[in-house]
Structure 1
Amino acid sequence: MSASSSILSRRTALALLAATASGLAGAQSGGKPDTVRIGYQKSSTLIVVLKTQGTLEKLLAPLGTKVTWHEFTSGLPLLEALNLGNVDVSADVADTVPVFAQAAGANLTFVAQEAPSPSAQAIVVRADSPLKTVADLKGKKIGFAKAAGAHYLLIAALEKAGLSFKDIEPAYLSPADGRAAFERGAIDAWVVWDPFLAAVQRQSSVRVLADGRDVASYQRYYLAATPYAQARADVLRVLFAELQKAGAWVKAQPKEAAALLAPVWGLDAATVEQANSRRSYEVRAVVPGSLAEQQRIADAFLSEKLLPRRVNTLDVALFKPGA
């Protein structure tokens, strides 16, 4: 064995040991996890509300459960961490992201779903751009986060305009990198979701070419690693109930919610309120019939050769909050 391959083997072994240790870190002697590791991203509004208010720490302490928080730049790396056993629960990710996780063989349980919010993501161009319609994107460089809802919005909008994904030059960028590239003119258009969408609309001179209405409903999902869901249904029931309460509060008290989130997100309250106005925040249980668009998304990515294999989106476990 060469020195380089020996080093690689040692690194692989260490990585596996680290992943195993991470997966066992929250286990009691009886094997029941006493920690819930929650992964989230900046756009995970309801989870950010619960985190900021310390709600879950208070409610889960009597169940002997601690909470740790782990922030990610977008949904795909978050579900990769879930698949690797580095987090137990994923805050809301766009409907596209579980499709990629399933294709990678992830053992997922769908915990909850937010009702559609189609206008909470959009394709934007600078106000002085010569691009006037989605059809004008042919041959252009477009920035977006891989596997995000924005990715599917772009595919669906291009198809509606008579184009395919191969007709554009993709630039896979995190929201922060996408904003920077957009503002310096390194990309011709940017596909992004709230609150990043509201921020660029309020802070820069932009135009919306298209949003998700009539092409992509943009539902967001909360997930758990199936072994954790099987071991701690009690924790997930608390999470589900509190997500519903938080969603109702954000919609009923938009100014209070914006004031709470603004300093956490590093945005002004008016921008946060605008972003929140486009999200449904209606948290509900996931049932097989509500996954129909998931299959359309999976098939669209497969047809563009962006998925390694066909995915049956019903081949997942569904958490029953009332069980």
Structure 2
Amino acid sequence: MTFSRHRTRTLALTASVLAAAALTTTACGSGDDGAATAASSASGAGAVAGGGGTVRIALIGTTGPTAAAKNDGSLAKDLAKVGAKVQFTGQFPAFAPAAEAINAGALDAAQGSISSAVGALAQKPSFKIYAAQLDNAKSEGILVKDPNIKSVADLVGKKVAVNPKGTGEYLLLKALEKNGVDPAKVERVYLGAADGATAFSSGKVDAWAAWGDFVATAKAKGARLLADGDQVGSENDTIWVISDTFLKAHPATVKALYENQVRHSQEEHADPEGAVAQENTGAIKLDDKAAAILADNYRDQDPVAKIDATFQRRFGDVSAFFAAQKVIPTKLDPATFTVDATTLGG
């Protein structure tokens, strides 16, 4: 399957593993989930071979297939068919703390980006990537407000907010490399997405490397993309991951989870306004203008897809780039950290 050039990007690093674990252990399941049990040991009544378990899945942001699956109750119903349950955790601010919660055995599944996954896997391999969606070039990049910053070269001597070892740092470094700018001449201000948004809106930084909902919100308030994903050569696809422990114990459940996410991403493409209206219902909501920008992104977006050779190549490219930039010690082997969800089952 050929991946789309479009996707919704996950939030950035703002919390530690302790905060992530606290969110996970105190979170309630959705209204139709029932009592959640330890994912690696629960089997579920009537589980099919390779099914069962209770998958604890991170909520990162308020839009996208996971939010849709929670809001309409469909994931709980789909997993019940293989004898499994779902527990939607409290909101995680980013993939990085979600990955740390997976490392700690407190979480099973989450959405992120290739760059954030590479950063996490380089520290402690504990999960596999089972689904992906190619990055949305027009919904990511370097945001600026100052009319005097007209090119990437104008970032020399400026402060740019980025999340470390994730999408923000990746986009900035790609932009600088593409335009022949020495990274040492641009100050990276390491902030999670929420703090980056605050710093950018208050003028404490000159630019912000951001994506997805953050770009939609910033553009709605008058910011502009100095350079977008296409212009910097981004290959930073959205990814969905599952813990090694859960995957080994419940492969059929992972396949059912994957199929639900594919279906919701198809619905986002077919009816973007309807999908945004269904997803954008949390305590933190996009305003009408930002929601319209997100719907426009969905309109061009193909569904979530299985892991294939194209994705593995792009994973390898991002990993090699981060290694060359000294963000991680060495590049990673894509085959070691990916699985084709369509082949899973009893």
Task: Please indicate the TM-score interval, normalised by the length of the shorter structure.
Answer: 0.7 to 0.9
Shift of 1:82: 1.8
SS of the aligned residue for 1:162 comes to coil
Q: Aligned runs of 1:286-301 on 2, under 5 Å?
A: 286-301=307-322
Question: After the TM superposition, which of the residue ranges 193-202 and 27-36 deviates more from structure 2?
Answer: 27-36
SS of the aligned residue for 2:280 comes to helix
- Aligned residues of 1:79 and 1:97 also touching (Cα < 8 A): no
For residue 65 of structure 2, the aligned residue among 35, 46, 69 is 46
Q: Percent identity between the aligned chains?
A: 27
Provide the C-alpha distance between the structure 1 equivalents of 2:297 and 2:169, rounded to a whole number of angstroms: 19
- Aligned residues of 1:143 and 1:190 also touching (Cα < 8 A): yes
Provide the C-alpha distance between the structure 1 equivalents of 2:43 and 2:84, rounded to a whole number of angstroms: 14
User: How many pairs are equivalent?
Assistant: 301
Structure-2 residue corresponding to 1:28: 42
Question: After the TM superposition, which of the residue ranges 95-104 and 310-319 deviates more from structure 2?
Answer: 310-319
- Aligned residues of 1:285 and 1:321 also touching (Cα < 8 A): yes
SS of the aligned residue for 1:318 comes to coil
Q: Deviations over 1:227-256 (max 9, x none)?
A: 211211111111111111111111111121
Structure-2 residue corresponding to 1:263: 281
- Aligned residues of 1:302 and 1:310 also touching (Cα < 8 A): yes
Change (3 A) 1:29 1:46: closer
Change (3 A) 1:94 1:276: farther
Matched to 2:273, the amino acid is K
Question: After the TM superposition, which of the residue ranges 102-111 and 191-200 deviates more from structure 2?
Answer: 102-111
Shift of 1:137: 0.7
Change (3 A) 1:74 1:158: same
SS of the aligned residue for 1:195 comes to helix
Q: Would you say 1:172 and 2:190 are equivalent positions?
A: yes
Q: Would you say 1:241 and 2:259 are equivalent positions?
A: yes
Q: Deviations over 1:93-144 (max 9, x none)?
A: 1110121122113132221111332222121111x44211011111211002
Question: Radius of gyration: which is bigger?
Answer: 1
Change (3 A) 1:296 1:115: closer
Provide the C-alpha distance between the structure 2 equivalents of 1:46 and 1:320, rounded to a whole number of angstroms: 16
- Aligned residues of 2:316 and 2:331 also touching (Cα < 8 A): no
Structure-1 residue corresponding to 2:126: 107
Shift of 1:225: 1.0
Q: Aligned runs of 1:107-126 on 2, under 5 Å?
A: 107-126=126-145
Shift of 1:29: 7.9
Shift of 1:314: 2.9
Question: After the TM superposition, which of the residue ranges 97-106 and 61-70 deviates more from structure 2?
Answer: 61-70
Change (3 A) 1:45 1:300: same
Matched to 1:77, the amino acid is P
Q: Would you say 1:182 and 2:182 are equivalent positions?
A: no
For residue 283 of structure 1, the aligned residue among 290, 304, 312 is 304
Structure-1 residue corresponding to 2:340: 319
Provide the C-alpha distance between the structure 2 equivalents of 1:85 and 1:318, rounded to a whole number of angstroms: 20
- Aligned residues of 2:108 and 2:242 also touching (Cα < 8 A): yes
- Aligned residues of 2:128 and 2:241 also touching (Cα < 8 A): yes
Q: Aligned runs of 1:154-233 on 2, under 5 Å?
A: 154-202=172-220, 204-214=221-231, 215-233=233-251
Change (3 A) 1:312 1:226: same
Provide the C-alpha distance between the structure 2 equivalents of 1:223 and 1:29, rounded to a whole number of angstroms: 21
Q: Would you say 1:132 and 2:150 are equivalent positions?
A: yes
Gaps of 5+ in 2: 1-20, 26-36, 45-49
Quote the RMSD (CA, aligned, Å). Answer: 2.6
Matched to 2:155, the amino acid is L
Structure-2 residue corresponding to 1:10: none
Question: After the TM superposition, which of the residue ranges 210-219 and 178-187 deviates more from structure 2?
Answer: 210-219
SS of the aligned residue for 1:63 comes to coil
Question: After the TM superposition, which of the residue ranges 40-49 and 150-159 deviates more from structure 2?
Answer: 40-49
Provide the C-alpha distance between the structure 1 equivalents of 2:82 and 2:43, rounded to a whole number of angstroms: 16
TM-score normalised by structure 1 residue count: 0.85
